[in-house]
Amino acid sequence: MHNVWLIAKREYIERIRARSFMVMTVLIPTLMGGLLWGVGMTTGKSRTNVNIAIVTQDSQFGLDLQEELATHKHPQIGAKVISPPEAVTRAELEAEMNHKGLDGYLWVTPPAPGHASPTFEWKPKSKNYLNTQNELGESIRTVLTKEGLAKSGLGSADVNLLMQPIDLDATDASKKDAASAAQASAFGLFFIMYFVIVFYGMNVARSIIEEKTSRIFEVLLATIKPEEMMAGKVLGVGAVGLTQVAIWLVAAAALSVPGLISLGSDISFNLPASLMIYFVVFFLLGYILYSGLAAALGAMTSSEQELQQMNIFLMLPLIACSGVVYNVISDPDGMIAKVFSFIPFCAPLIMYVRIAMHRPPWWEIALSLTGLVVTVLAILWIAARIYRVGVLMYGKKPNLPELIRWLRYS
Amino acid sequence: MPIVELHQVRKAYDTKIAVHGLSLKIEPGTMFGLLGPNGSGKTSSIRMMIGITVPDSGSVTLFGQPFERKNLTRVGYLPEERGLYKKMNVLDQLVFLGQLHGLDAETAKKRSLIWCERMDISEAIPKKTEELSKGMQQKIQFIASLLHEPELIIMDEPFSGLDPVNATLLQDTLVDLRREGKAVLFSTHRMDQVEKLCDEIALIANGQLLLSGSMREVKSTYPRNRIQIVFEGSDGFLKHPAIAEAKNYSGQAEIKLAAAADLAGAANAVLAEALTMARISRFEVVEPTLEEIFIERVTAQSPAPVNGVLTHA
């Protein structure tokens, strides 16, 4: 056990220290975060307080619009009314926009003779005020409607009554929201699991090949058993994967705390504890299954190129999983979902998604887990044997009868 | 009590028999040379001694007990195929390998530093292994196999690829270790080193033991039928009937006398003939060198083609 620990520790420390780990850990969330932030910037979602000026001849219209804008929250628009404008007003506003906190101004030109409504000119500081522009347009329409209604003889109380927002029964809609959030988080975790299993499973194979080509195996095998080596390697590399996922999840949680960093206000990250436990269990089993396979592949081949050719065996079930995952999410109790969640090579991903979407009966979970555990044990047994013979074998790739003979070597 | 004893050990890989009923014994405080042509089963035999592979039949005894993995911490092994973690820093690497051999980190570190100094590579300590020259890496690995102060030191081709200065440094270190009572086994096909260093030898070819025993025993079984002569003048005397075979390297000849009851007389006759036609500056009657014995024994055995699948030596 001590040797397994030593191997795992070395593997872990060397990998964590490697520059590529840092790059991966930082780069991937940065890219994703950057993407979200970029989207937020262009849609103007991130702005919460906007200051504008309303320039109009009609001071009553200005005040009405100001009042209307004040009722809006996304973004909160504070407006000052300049009425009537003077010759220098436009220049002053431009200067204010450049140097002070003014985000834009609305210039209302009275209707030309023969036209019913005035023209509105909206000049924002930059292009990133799409939301403000939408709110502004809506508010202007509301104010104009109210004015029109008042002109046609309705009392202001009646007008306000007419313009009252309608109460929609929104419970169904919010249920749908919750469902799509569950979908999103099931998706997100599916891909994290998928990515880590593929990436770190491949890492196990690659590191075995590296040790094979650098011939360090013989030194190690002179003191420790091949089984210990394989176990140490799988555990060490797996721990690196877990560390990375943990860093990401903690970062995601931190980002979604409102107010800490404003960009994440729409991305909520909440995962029930039971789902978290299922995630960890399926993740670990899936990882061990695939890294055991990868270890056997690594031991059988002796160069990276050969490994690439064998990769397909590793990737095939995973690709199948990502092919059906949409189907499983939309119909978690359908035939496809059921079949795939009982295939041990797909169970870690598909069963987890089913549990996340809509908890299946306990016996289905138990059956899937049992099949998975049995398969993991079988794979580890086979992999250890292939490993034991394969790591000292250089050159020619073994064929199937040879592999079977390897399994019989003690 | 012998440190290692192989008894009728046999190992076959798929179609090829790598080792054929090999028996040998290594006592403490001896320098043991395991000789053999490429693909003769040297590495396979060594691997079975330290449990990397298990013999199909026969027994391996380490330190007087049947093979047990826990005894492996008393063995230091330098494989023929050198290997270190390329990206790892030298000291970390040595400490890691020391720990695998049962040392604690502290001791492993202390001994690594002492050994690096002794091997004259202290400047390599902070570097990554891949930055070092091949010879330096070899020295690092040499150190790694000795950190845990093993009682049995097994080195597969320890001097290959080293320059004379470093080869001598390693040789001297091995001699020191032998003097401390350790058993040292090394395989090689450099006969001059074996002749200089080894107390005992075993010669194997095609997985079979051809010859074994102490250096003196082995040599004394061969008659003193070689003459080395340095001369100026005609080389006509090389055609003397007592000579079975002669090689003339421009003024330096190596002569093998034909089998005869009186070899000394035959040598004298050759010398007398040589003196009539050349000036002799050196004339020496010697026993065959180990190299000659090696070549003679190996070629005498059926020169079956050797195709190594798993066996590198």
Q: Could you tell me the pTM of the whole model?
A: 0.69
Residue A263 has pLDDT above 50, yes or no: no
> Measured between CA atoms, how close is B83 to chain A, in angstroms?
4
Residue B153 has pLDDT above 90, yes or no: yes
User: What pLDDT does residue B190 have?
Assistant: 79
User: What pLDDT does residue A266 have?
Assistant: 44
Mean pLDDT of A113-129: 77
Both tokens of residue A395?
């050159």
DSSP letter at B70 equals G
Question: Of B171, B169, B166, whose CA–CA distance to B155 is shortest?
Answer: B171
Query: pLDDT by residue (tens digit) across B67-111?
Result: 888 888 889 999 887 788 888 889 999 999 999 888 899 999 999
Residue B49: count of CB within 10 angstroms of its CB: 27
Q: Which residues of B touch A221 (CB under 8 A)?
A: 52
Mean pLDDT of A220-231: 84
**B52 touching A (Cβ < 8 Å):** yes
Full DSSP string of A55-91: E-S-HHHHHHHHHHHHT--SSEEEEEEE-S--TTHHH
Q: Nearest residue on chain B to A4, judged by CA atoms?
A: B100
User: What pLDDT does residue A307 have?
Assistant: 83
Tell me which residues of chain B, numbers 162 to 201, contact chain A at a CB-CB cutoff of 8 Å: none
Q: Judge whether B271 and B284 are in contact, CB under 8 Å.
A: no
User: What pLDDT does residue A128 have?
Assistant: 66
User: Bridge partners of B60?
Assistant: B6
Full DSSP string of A325-350: HHHHHH-TTSHHHHHHHHSTTTHHHH
Query: pLDDT by residue (tens digit) across A29-56?
Result: 777 677 766 765 665 444 567 888 888 8
ipTM: 0.73
- Say if the Cβ atoms of A14 and B85 lie within 8 Å: yes
> Measured between CA atoms, how close is B71 to chain A, in angstroms?
9
**B128 touching A (Cβ < 8 Å):** no
User: What pLDDT does residue A373 have?
Assistant: 92
- Say if the Cβ atoms of B145 and A219 lie within 8 Å: yes
Q: Nearest residue on chain A to B155, judged by CA atoms?
A: A219
Question: Of A296, A318, A316, whose CA–CA distance to A307 is shortest?
Answer: A296
Judge residue B300's burial from the number of C-beta atoms within 10 Å of its C-beta, 0-12 exposed, 13-18 middle, 19 or more buried.
exposed
Query: pLDDT by residue (tens digit) across B211-236?
Result: 888 888 888 888 888 888 898 888 88
Q: Which residues of A touch B82 (CB under 8 A)?
A: 215
* Length of chain A measured in residues: 410
Q: What three-state secondary structure class fits A298? A: helix
In the sheet that holds B16-26, the strands lie side by side as B16-26, B4-13, B57-62, B65-66
